[in-house]
Amino acid sequence: MMTALKFRNTIASPDDPVDTWPFEGILAAVERGSLPDWRRLAAAIRADPWGPVARQVLEPIRLSRSRLSTYMSGKVVPSAALMVRMRRVALKASETVTVIG
């Protein structure tokens, strides 16, 4: 299956099996990938929920302070998919505060 996704700074290809992707490939798929790329990630995670792909996917989902700072300053523009995920997290957090408060 061919994909429009491109990996940077790695010799791996998005057409390789997902379980062979380096962290940079996982990051590219999470941040810049499309639905077919995310389906491939989901299939790999379903096949091994505690495996290396699942663990690597967790890293880009968590936003570091420096990454968040680049978004806030406008130096980096997050993908639409990441914006949707951040909104969901913010809404869940506000629901938790409302319930606790």
Cα 73 to the center of its chain, rounded Å: 21
Instruction: Please state, in angstroms and rounded to a whole number, the distance separating the CA atoms of residues 69 and 45.
Output: 29
- Please determine, for residue 68, whether its predicted confidence score (pLDDT) is greater than 60: yes
- Higher-pLDDT residue of 30 and 93 is 30
Tell me the pLDDT of the chain averaged across its residues: 79
List pLDDT tens digits, range 13-61: 999 999 999 988 998 888 888 888 888 988 998 899 888 998 888 876 6
Q: Give the C-alpha distances (Å, rounded to integers) separating 63 from 45, 60, 70, 82.
A: 20, 7, 11, 10
Query: DSSP class of residue 14?
Result: T
According to the model, what pLDDT value does residue 2 have? Answer: 56
For the segment 92-99, the average pLDDT, to the nearest whole number, is: 57
Within 8 A by CB and 6+ apart from 38, the residues are 29, 30, 81
